[in-house]
Structure 1
Amino acid sequence: MTATVVLLPFPGAGVPPAAFPHLRGARAVYASGLGEELTDQLGAKPAPEPAVLAAETSVVLFAASAEDPAVRALPGARVIAQPTGARLVEAAQVMDRLRSPGGCPWDAEQTHSSLRQYLVEETYELLEAIEDGDRTALREELGDVLLQVLFHARVAAEDAEDPFDVDAVAGELVAKLVGRHPHVFAESERVATAEHQELRWEELKQVEKQRESIVDGVALGQPAAALAGKLGQRTGRAGVPLDLFPGGQDAPSRLFVLAATARRAGVDPEGELRAVAKRFAADVRAAEANARAAGVEPSTLEVDGWRRFWP
């Protein structure tokens, strides 16, 4: 029997059922990096030195990470890991602890309304990480957005009139994903392209939510360019002609038409507008740097000066 490695990155989720047959036939059970209490709970002994462990067979090793030196000493071992998402349970438990008596006073005082600003801020920080291609920041900001979901779900669980928790949120998401992908989870017509799937998604939403209008469900609180783009996309699918768009020559009407027609053409107006704005901000910084390099204080620049130092 070869060695078996059981990874427990989140011990609270328990030992994976797939590990039990190997535990029954193991000559020895070791643990590395899990702490004395959990090691005892698992009925394991502390792992010996890597060189000693490498010479053993028919053993089971519990470890917190695949990077653990003890795991590295067993390169040919069978590896059993907890399913993806196990640490989501831990995240929810941490949120419960912070919100409960004896937890964090600040967390305990928050409401859905007080948390709104953080959801917006964290979402934009995530967008920036995506635009910058920063993988480290992307991982961190995804966690910050997840925190907002867990936080709101925990606050909702305390509502005396209509409580629901994070499991209810996840349950509705699962039902939605399964219901809107019948070609994956049930016997249904095949969806050959992403465009076909997007159309089917909207059709299924229409039936599921019993919407009376093609613009029902459009988040009116989103940024203006994104809102105009979404309305342009929705009405485009329904065949609303462009000549029915706002026809005024004022700046707001022209902006709406630009954003709405851009989205119909497959362009993300919010993202593209943000990209232009970021390039403009970078040009302003470059002009200021050029002025400083020439011995000119940027705060003194006027029209001709800005033109002179513009990159």
Structure 2
Amino acid sequence: MDQRLADLDRRRAERPPRGVTGPQPLLTVLVTSPRVAAGLLSRDAWTALESAAQVLTADPDDPVPAAVAASGIDVAAAPYESAAESARALVAAAAERSIVWISSPDADPGLTDAIAEELTRLEDPPQIEVLVGSWDVPGARLLDAVAVMDALRSPGGCPWDAEQTHESLAKYLLEEAHETVEAIETGDTEHVAEELGDVLLQVLFHARIAADEDPGYTIDDVASLLVDKLIRRHPHVFGDGDASTPDEVERSWERIKAAEKSDRDEDDLLAGIPASLSPLLIAEKVLTRADRRGIQVSYDEGADLGGRLLALVAQARAGGVSADAALRATLREVARPPVSG
């Protein structure tokens, strides 16, 4: 927001209470989140709308103006070709009476700057406030991601996205997961955030493909299954479980998972571990499972290369180190070209 508009906004503290006639009318720019149900406005927002002499908006059919009109408050259309044009009209109207402008879903780009420019030209400008009527809740931008993915897969969207299948995308899911791990290990926070977005894209993509299938599922089904699983496997948080340490939580998770996958052979330490996983990670998971289940894994540390490798994985695990991550870090070091003197 333009600093001039922010300075003018500070005059709010000097105005009389709403509904009480003061020396100057008031121009209120009401901004809302397009990711929140249109009628869920703050008390201050409804008070401003009810006490205004006139409520204006560019398009009364937009969700928020439509919800306001449905409540019984008159909302007048004030379409405009340019932000400067609208600013002049709003400031002129506010010089005579209190006006509420309901911002469009795109927040009317350039309008607040244009209003600030118009107000600074006047010797005695009307009072101005920017009133936030609703805020994004945590995770609200995920709705945008779902909407964008839907547009890409819908008629008129991207032809490449439209022809993809679960099978054609499988390699990308694996690739993005590996790139995310690499970003984490390099410690680049911005890179991690970007790569996590790429992983999220794959989740959204697969769910959108499934939405067109019969039987299929949607992103809401995916989220619902995840929520159910998290609650079910965390009885110490959402139920009467008593796990209080990370080790106890892991053992509890293992027991609950085993009960859910009752068709698996409890003695098979490889059950459910993807064969495409790095062998070092598979070895680490097998040793971890054996430890949780109280199974003694028998192998000869010196008999063959496989036994020696497994012993190294066990040694790394005992030291709280991932053998897979340690090997990748070393590979990055040895693969760097020598620095010339």
Distance 1:275 1:202 in 2: 30
Paired amino acid for 1:236: D
Aligned to 2:260: 208
User: What is the CA-CA distance between 1:172 and the residue it aligns to?
Assistant: 0.5
1:217 pairs with one of 261, 269, 272 = 272
The structural deviation recorded for 1:100 is: 2.0
The equivalent of 1:167 in structure 2 is 220
Q: 1:267 to 1:16 in 2, by over 3 A?
A: farther
**What one-letter code is carried by the residue in structure 2 that aligns with 1:21?**
R
Correspondence 1:1-311 to 2 at 5 A: 7-8=32-33, 11-15=34-38, 17=40, 19-26=41-48, 27=51, 36-37=58-59, 41-43=63-65, 80-160=134-214, 162-186=215-239, 188-210=240-262, 211-213=264-266, 215=269, 216-242=271-297, 244-245=298-299, 249-282=303-336, 285=337, 287=338, 289-290=339-340, 293=341
Task: Report the alpha carbon displacement of residue 99 of structure 1 after superposing the two structures with TM.
Answer: 1.4
Within 2, Cα distance between the matches of 1:249 and 1:195? 32
Give unmatched runs, 5+ long, in structure 2: 1-16, 19-27, 66-74, 114-127
Q: Is the 8 A contact 2:313 2:323 kept in 1?
A: yes
* Match of residue 302 from structure 1: none
Q: Which AA in structure 2 matches 1:171?
A: S
Q: In the alignment, residue 217 of structure 2 is paired with which amino acid? A: F
Shift of residue 261 of structure 1? Answer: 4.4
- Report the Cα offset of residue 191 of structure 1: 2.8
More helix by share: 1
207-216 vs 148-157, greater mean Cα deviation: 207-216
Give yes or no for contact 1:22–1:60 (8 Å, CA) kept in 2: no
5+ unaligned residues in a row in structure 1: which ranges? Answer: 294-311
The CA deviation string for residues 228-262 of structure 1, in whole angstroms up to 9 with x for no partner, is 111111112122224x1355633233223322443
Query: Contact 1:153–1:166 (CA<8 Å) still a contact in 2?
Result: yes
What TM-score do the two structures reach when normalised by structure 1? 0.72
Distance 1:6-1:203 versus aligned 2 partners, 3 A rule: farther
Amino acid at match of 1:110: Q
2:153 and 2:223 map into 1 onto residues whose CA distance is 20
* Higher Rg of the two aligned structures: 2
Distance of aligned partners of 1:196 and 1:59 in 2 relative to their CA distance in 1, 3 Å threshold: farther
Q: Deviations over 1:9-56 (max 9, x none)?
A: xx2543373x2533321145788xxxx55895433888969xx99xxx
In the aligned structure 2, how far is the partner of 1:16 from the partner of 1:104?
A: 33
Structure 2 distance, partners of 1:69, 1:197, is 53
Hey, what's the Cα distance between the residues in 1 that align with 2:61 and 2:157? 27
Per-residue CA distance 1:170-221 (angstroms, 9 max, x = gap):
11000001111122223x1333222221221111111222243253322222
Question: Are 2:32 and 2:132, in contact at CA under 8 Å, matched by a contact in 1?
Answer: no
Q: Does the 8 Å contact 2:56/2:101 carry over to 1?
A: yes
Shift of 1:227: 0.9
* Partner Cα distance (1:260, 1:113) in 2: 35
Greater relative contact order structure (CA < 8 Å, 6+ sep): 2
Question: CA RMSD of the aligned region, Å?
Answer: 3.7
